[in-house]
Amino acid sequence: MVLRRSSEINFILMNWPGKFNWNEAQAKQIVTSDLLRQWLGTDLDTEALPHGPLTPLLQYQVNSRPRRYTALTTGGRLIAVVDKSELATRTTEEVLHRQLA
């Protein structure tokens, strides 16, 4: 039997979570600054940068930090954590792709 795409997607969404013994509501965890420090240890730069568009200036600021991970905050609230290694890799890939395309 051939299902329409929307029916197939609905079927998957309705039945997939029950296939595993996992519940997002039970597994989710509020990330506190203490937990973040515990998980990332000395790789976390504790001097945060302001969150905003990923401009060349912000990319430079993240990449010039001494630690691998940098917190981006707004009003003292954690918005994101940037992995400078991943940022550098993606930025390089984008530049090379544009030059070679």
pLDDT at 65: 93
pLDDT, tens digit (0-9, with 9 covering 90-100), for 13-59:
777 766 677 677 777 788 888 888 899 999 999 888 999 998 999 99
pLDDT at 32: 82
Q: Does the pLDDT value for residue 72 go beyond 60? A: yes
* Cβ neighbours of 71 (radius 10 Å): 19
pLDDT at 31: 81
- Exposed, middle or buried by CB within 10 Å (0-12, 13-18, 19+), for 83? middle
Phi and psi at 100, nearest 5°, equal -95, -15
pLDDT at 3: 55
pLDDT, tens digit (0-9, with 9 covering 90-100), for 82-99:
999 999 998 888 888 888
pTM above 0.75, yes or no: no
User: Which amino acid is present at 31?
Assistant: V
H-run or E-run covering 98 = helix 84-100
